[in-house]
Structure 1
Amino acid sequence: MATRRTAGTRAKDSDRNNTCQVLDSALSDGQLSMEEHRTRVAAATKAATLGDLQNLVDDLQNDDAPVQMPELKRPSPLSSPRGGAGIRAAMAAVLVVFGIAIGWGLYGNTTSPLSFTSDPGAKSDGIPAKVITPPRQLQSLGGLTGLLEQMRQRFGDTMGYGLTIYPEYAVLTRPDPADDRRTLSYTYRGGFDDPSTSSKGDDDVVVDLAAFDVKTAVGLLRGAPEMVGLQLKDVKADSTYLTVDPSRDPTTPGALTLRASVSSDFGSGSVTFAGDGTIKRVDPADD
């Protein structure tokens, strides 16, 4: 009766010799380098099973080899000459399941030991992503209105000593609640960062920095280049800004003075106006 040949079948000298011939053929047609050939031939002469020999030629094209390697039958998962391998595999599986159950009992954070995870951060928490879109283009009706709203959300009010609004960021000066001799300066870029401190000036006055007509202020800011004698195409966007400060008029306590400043390579100028848009002063661009 023919022997059933599997990867575990013991190799004969003829099997080892056949494998060496396949390796010689692979060397001659460039599949193996001299060093690879030497290493594999040495392994073939020491191989114990047909599976060991097959592993040495699995990656080779050996259709033109002088001999062909035998086709090996895949053994039954639980079969072996004496059944020992199958029993050992079954015992190993039992031990693995038993180990999982113990680990789950000690550290598990799921309802089943088979869904055990050692990383609590891998568990879904059901929290949806929260995307906040604060204003970034500030010299527009929506941007300036949004900036004032960000002040209310951050500080609870819009009070302060002054506010300067650039196209994409703003600088806000507020009282230091811990020391009335100092002021806190916040820079806004999608949010207010940590403040820097400075000494309070004698003329610093706290006012409501939102007490002006936003729509009118944006319109005057956009019209400022023409009002000061500059062509719009020459104006530098990053040098255009709006300042909001307390009015120095003693007859209107709490009022604001706003100034739209623009500049170009051909000069700079500004338009000063009240919170309701009343023009106070126009400084033409320098010659």
Structure 2
Amino acid sequence: MADSPQARSVADPRTRARDIDRAEVSTVLDAAYAEGQLGAQEYHDRVKRAGSARTLGELRGLTADLQSPAVFGPTTERKRFGRKHSGEYPARTKARDDDRARTIAALDTARADGQLDAEEHTAMTELAAEARTLGELATLVAELQQRPAPPVKPKARNTFRIVTIAAVGLAAVGGFAWTIRADEPAAKETAASVDYDAAPPLVIPTPNLNTIAGFVQFRDDYRTKFGDAVVDEAVLHDEHASAVRRAPDNGDWTVSYTYRGGFERSNSQVTTRDRKAVDIDLAQVNTDALAAVLNAAATTLGVPGGVVSHYRIANDTWVGRPSITVYVRNEVSQSAHLVLALSGEVLKTYPYER
């Protein structure tokens, strides 16, 4: 059966975009930013481009490398463009905070059972924390016996069938209305005009989490959200963070959250709790000692021009207790890290070696 003109026009990337198409893409970009797939600058750039996009092809390009991208047009037309409905994402797809956290957990397991030595584990963990794509993460765990399952694309709904049914229903209702209201004058059609440049995207400001003020804000917001300050793990970067805690209805499961000024579930699933995990009360962190370490970390570790890239609060099996690992990196990827107890005592340093 030949494609209808309507189906061809929706599939054609040259088709003019509507305001609702631009708004849909902006919503997808909002979600990608919240999940850590996009940095702040890239997010703002893409939202601006979405607001000024003239065609569906331009809009598709803004979400092509994201997980769960917006769906345009009928599913039958998406096949013609070679876009799969389900299965694994391409390697170039942007990684979420949750993807990075699951990869780091796999590396921790590999270190615990002897697949990786300490130096390999440290280097690969740092790379995982900075990875931007699913391909980069997959490379890090490709040789491990236990690898985290890759994210899977959700099955696309048959939007063409839904739209067709809705259109038929509306046509029937419209025909009925026309027969009983034919004597009334037709309403004048108007198209709402949206000035996207006049309405910049609303982004919740996030504190610099690599400062003690940022940590305190994160901890206070966490306590407000959950009623306590207990985590299995927390990883804080300058603009975002992730946290893992016990599931509320089953202590053998955990739930992951992302933080950008507020907490959101990283995904809709719960996972089995890591056997090495323990309850860590963030209230036990000595903030004065942590502040001193964060401020002096680059100097202490000897990383030229280095800054704190992130720090991880978790149960460290190598020091035998919950600890904070602070990572320092510079613009040319020279890095080092140190480990301190929640009380502030520095337990181990791994300085940069020239």
TM-score, normalised by the number of residues in structure 2 = 0.39
More helix by share: 2
Rg comparison, structure with higher value? 1
Structure having greater relative contact order (Cα 8 Å, sep ≥ 6): 2
TM-score, normalised by the number of residues in structure 1 = 0.47
